[in-house]
Copies of this chain bind each other. A is one copy, B any other.
Amino acid sequence: MKTDCGYLMSQLQYMGGRIFEKILRDSGIDAFTGAQGRILYVLWEHGSLTITKIGKMTSLAKSTLTVMLDMMEKKKLVRRVPDPVNRRQIHVQITEKAKGYKKEYDDISNRMTELSYAGFSDAEMECLEGMLKRIKRNLESYEA
């Protein structure tokens, strides 16, 4: 079947990204960007993770993360701690400073959600989320 879903999702990504960055800045947050927020998102949840795990959870490539984490370390949002046992691994720890931004970020995420899914019923949102998860599984099994 012919569909434009892929194209539509790109567009939502561009627009949504611009809007999110703007709301962040309008809220006076200059400590981190939207992209950095997506990495913090998994660290707010887990506190400390290896880079490989962050890659799995965010779906970002590892070379992307090296760069992002460099920046975030410079801004004291995260800390790299080598694993004493497996010396190949680096644990990325979230700092107290970054923990302090969680609430504000959640508020902005919620605003973004309200704005994006205006007019959606709960059932529709669940339906959408379910389908996105299925697509994710499809892509993951292809990439693997």
Interface of A toward B, CB cutoff 8 Å: 1, 3-16, 18-19, 38, 41, 58-61, 109, 112-113, 115-120, 122, 124-125, 127-129, 131-136, 138-140, 142-143
Q: Is the interface of A mostly helix, strand, loop or mixed?
A: helix
Q: Which residues of B contact A1 (CB under 8 A)?
A: 113, 122, 125
Asked if A8 contacts B60 (CB within 8 A), the reply is: no
Known: A6-B16, A13-B13, A61-B18. A142 touches B129 (CB 8 A): no
- Counted per complex, copies of this chain come to 2
Asked if A9 contacts B132 (CB within 8 A), the reply is: yes
Q: Which residues of B contact A16 (CB under 8 A)?
A: 6, 9, 139
